[in-house]
Amino acid sequence: MIKDFLTLIFPKVCNACRKALYKSEDCICAYCHYHLPKTNFHLNKENPISKTFWGRAAVEEATSLYYFNKGTKVQHLIHQLKYRGKKEIGYSLGKHYGVELKNSRSFSTIDLVIPVPLFPSKQKKRGYNQSELFAKGLAESLSVESHSEVLIRKLNSQSQTKKTRFDRWKNVEFVFEVTKPEVLHGKHILLVDDVITTGATLEACANRIIEVPGSKVSIATIASTLF
């Protein structure tokens, strides 16, 4: 009764469209889940994300949940997740997408989910790693574990926002390190991030992981600017 009363005064709203949520809805309304621009890249092995890694990193599969465009609900969701403390968005989207990936032959062999790490001081300032929340949701639906301490960011690289593709790659080339290779040995790793633009950060992470004997890497992000 108390919960219903509080909901009446402070109604829960969809983080994408801001409309009131029904009791059965969590974080994002059913309408937005259905109408947000899904890529369905997990159904197409030669999708734009996979192609961007050709010749750059030996990535098994690559996919993204949504297309990213400025001024859209997807951008609003990402902004709420990264800068407004709406941590539930990352976890909810991970659970949602994990169900789809589990039913995909290409992603059905995932053993472990690993998020792209933040530099410790940046994560401390933000209070969380948005990619780690997405990873936890994915792992739950895929019925596997997620690990956030196996891959670390040992250097605090500069912002990638205004850099060229080559500069982005140079900016993160030696930034990441695998701390527990025994955890990755012989495993199919799902490496996850919030948004993919040029893929430089994911490339750098994937190449560190692939150095571990017997490991394989696939990639999933919440959104993609690659069409």
Find the mean pLDDT for residues 133-157.
Answer: 94
Write down the CATH number for the domain with range 39-224: 3.40.50.2020
Residue 6 — very low, low, confident or very high, per pLDDT cuts 50/70/90?
very low
Q: pTM of the predicted model, to two decimals?
A: 0.90
* Percent of the chain topping pLDDT 70: 89
pLDDT at 156: 73
To 10 degrees, the CA torsion angle through 79, 143, 31, 84? -20
pLDDT at 191: 98
pLDDT at 155: 82
SS (H, E, C) the chain: CHHHHHHHHCCCECCCCCCECCCCCECECHHHHHHCCECCHHHCCCCHHHHHCCCCCCEEEEEEEEECCCCCHHHHHHHHHHHCCCHHHHHHHHHHHHHHHHCCHHHCCCCEEEECCCCHHHHHHHCCCHHHHHHHHHHHHHCCEECCCCEEECCCCCCCCCCCHHHHHHHHCCCEEECCHHHHCCCEEEEEEEEECCCHHHHHHHHHHHCCCCCEEEEEEEEECCC
- pLDDT at residue 9 is higher than 60: no
pLDDT at 24: 85
- pLDDT at residue 208 is higher than 50: yes
Find the mean pLDDT for residues 15-39.
Answer: 93
Domain boundaries, the chain: 39-224
Model confidence pLDDT, tens digit, residues 54-87: 999 999 999 999 999 999 999 999 999 999 999 9
Worst-scoring range by mean pLDDT, 42-56, 159-173, 190-204? 159-173
Model confidence pLDDT, tens digit, residues 152-192: 998 876 554 555 555 555 567 789 999 999 999 999 999 99
Average pLDDT, the chain: 91
Tell how strand 151-153 and strand 145-146 pair up: unpaired
